[in-house]
Amino acid sequence: AKPQIVVINKMDMPDAEEKWEDIKKAMNSIGIEPMSISALTGKGLRQIIWCVAQVLEELTSENSVKLVD
């Protein structure tokens, strides 16, 4: 399976924090670990950027060609 990053946006909306726990539990029950952000306020963006960088690094190292002397 291809790696995926599931992100829920709009966490700045009213009641979003209350709904987040239910969304997270539902997604966890099917094996998905979602992340939450607010693009408006910037909340959670650093964590998403770090997560994307980690996934890309792993993919790059898995697919890199090793040269033999």
Task: Name the strand (E) or helix (H) holding 22.
Answer: helix 16-29
Please state, in angstroms and rounded to a whole number, the distance separating the CA atoms of residues 64 and 48. Answer: 24
Note down pLDDT in tens along the chain; length 69 residues.
Answer: 788 999 999 999 999 999 999 999 999 999 999 999 999 999 999 999 999 999 999 888 877 655 565
Please state, in angstroms and rounded to a whole number, the distance separating the CA atoms of residues 4 and 35. Answer: 11
- pTM reported for the whole predicted model: 0.74
Q: How many CB atoms lie within 10 A of CB 37?
A: 19
CA distances from 49 to 18, 19, 25, 35, 66 (A): 24, 23, 23, 11, 28
